[in-house]
Amino acid sequence: MCFAFALFCQTNILAQKRFYNSSFEENNCIVEVSAGAGTINCLTDLGGRKGPGKKFLKDINWDNSQASGNFSFGVIIKDVFAARLEASFGTIKAYDSILVNHKNDARTMGRYFRNLNFRSRIQEFSLQVEFHPIMLFDADDMPRLSPYVGAGIGRFSFDPETYYNGRWIRLQPLKTEGQGFAEYPGRQPYKLQAFSYPLSIGLRYEVSNMFAARFEISHRFTSTDHLDDVSNEVYINPDLFAKYLKPGESAMAEKLYNRYRGAEFGYQQSYGDIRGQSFNKDGFFTICLKAGLTLGRLLRQH
């Protein structure tokens, strides 16, 4: 497929604008196939930084960063615009106990006492477009380094789990916030697939006529608030688990929906205590390095 796209690009050239170097002409359309590795992190209700929950980047806890990877196939048009299909994967996690060093801070102890944790494997497929602004300016030779911005839409899968007694337990089937219970009509079961909306900034460097390297930061806004299984503001009545779940699931749900640890420090939980916040969607982001194979440049005629 890559070679077919390269051939298509070569046969649809109206004029050559620039030279790549003394040996190759810059085509109007080239193909780039790349692979990358880096880190993935998330912004959800759990964990975070010292103090009350903050918005967006102010609440990132870098200790939660995990390994991630990606593969992509793209087309670059006249060096300025690009479109790519990308597959990304990694595992996100967060846990309230990460705030242990700040448990005596009045603004932080609520999250630490909540004592919830999760991990979720992410698999995402997206279509993204890029804009390379400095490539708008004509030059005899193409610049090797090009900053760019990008945006797109994707679809990803996730499946939140929590660590309990030495093993990871899936949370979605346990309906920890009363999803689907008649007593909570606004809380519907959530799906394990959602839309993502990547926004990216990056640097692309031409190592040679056939190889390119990238450094990219990409944040994904999402259509779900359940990456961590926490969304609604107050804890439900635990007696309802036995009404709607099988006995084994009901017993586990009662243990996991509320893991408050404030009593260890002399604090008692009150009815209506906050579990999460439903007005902000969850998100995740990646920071990665990519290596790409470039196809479609033409041998320069001397």
Who's near 151: CB < 8 A, 6+ residues apart? Answer: 128, 129, 197, 198, 199, 200
Q: Which regions of the chain does DSSP assign to beta strands (E)?
A: 24-25, 29-43, 66-77, 81-95, 117-131, 145-157, 161-164, 167-170, 193-206, 211-222, 283-295, 298-299
Calpha distance 93→213 (Å, rounded): 28
Beta strands 283-295; 29-43: pairing state: antiparallel
Look at residue 70 and tell me whether its pLDDT is greater than 60: yes
pLDDT at position 157: 98
Calpha distance 153→124 (Å, rounded): 10
Calpha distance 25→179 (Å, rounded): 59
Phi-psi region of 8 (alpha: psi -120 to 50; beta: other; left: phi over 0): alpha
Q: How many CB atoms lie within 10 A of CB 167?
A: 8
Look at residue 3 and tell me whether its pLDDT is greater than 60: no
Question: Residue-wise over 226-258: b if at least 16 C-beta within 10 A, else e?
Answer: bbbbbbbeebbeeebbeebbeeeebebbbebbb
pLDDT at position 20: 58
With beta carbons less than 8 A apart as the criterion, state whether 218 and 148 touch.
no
Look at residue 208 and tell me whether its pLDDT is greater than 90: no
pLDDT at position 217: 97
pTM: 0.87
Calpha distance 145→3 (Å, rounded): 25
Calpha distance 83→302 (Å, rounded): 32
Task: Write the pLDDT tens digit of every residue in 216-240.
Answer: 999 999 999 999 999 987 899 999 9
Calpha distance 186→184 (Å, rounded): 6
Local confidence band at 79 (pLDDT 50, 70, 90 cut-offs)? confident
Task: Write the pLDDT tens digit of every residue in 21-65.
Answer: 666 677 789 999 999 999 999 999 898 766 655 566 667 888 899
Sketch out the chain's domains with CATH numbers.
2-9+34-299 (2.40.160.20)
